[in-house]
Amino acid sequence: MKPRRFIIDSSVTLAWLFDEDHSTGRIEAVLKDAELVAPSLWRLEIVNVILVKQRRKLLTVAQGTHLLEVLEDWTVEVLAEPPTRSLTGLAALAQPHQLSAYDAVYLDLALSLGLPLFTRDNNLEAAAVRIGLPLIKLGK
């Protein structure tokens, strides 16, 4: 059986890292044997959250480094920003769905590759539903 391939966003990754809503086990079940794809933005978002938590004294530097090292072991196909992406096109995708430019990048990547999206972001999920993009859902 061919592994499921889908776009993973930072909201899922961070929920897994910090066990938000006690979701780590359910997320791991979805990730098992999956081929993960993310835009290069994914890496920046994850590192930024870790750095902010360190500055706010919610994590030590050692804890943050450990979490980043754990993620380094994940196999994620990180795709570079396409040089042909139009800034106005990205804004046009974001505006009707009230998405940030960051979230629009995940939506655009899923659309361009024809892959489902795995997100815990409510606005991004709603946008995907409105345009008929398949979503990966967490089990109960």
The pLDDT value recorded for residue 21 is 87
d(C-alpha 120, C-alpha 19), whole Å? 13
d(C-alpha 65, C-alpha 93), whole Å? 35
Query: Residue 29 is which amino acid?
Result: A
Class of domain 5-130: alpha beta
d(C-alpha 67, C-alpha 18), whole Å? 9
Residue by residue, DSSP assigns 82-103 as PTT--HHHHHHHHGGGT--HHH
Q: Which of 73, 76, 71 is nearest to 35 (CA)?
A: 76
The pLDDT value recorded for residue 92 is 96
The pLDDT value recorded for residue 125 is 96
The pTM score is: 0.92
The pLDDT value recorded for residue 140 is 53
Residue 40 host element (H or E): none
Q: What is the pLDDT along the chain (140 residues), one digit of tens a residue?
A: 555 999 999 999 999 999 988 989 999 999 999 999 999 999 999 999 999 999 999 999 999 999 999 999 999 999 999 888 899 999 999 999 999 999 999 999 999 999 999 999 999 999 999 999 999 988 65
Domain boundaries, the chain: 5-130
Q: Which of 105, 54, 66 is nearest to 82 (CA)?
A: 105
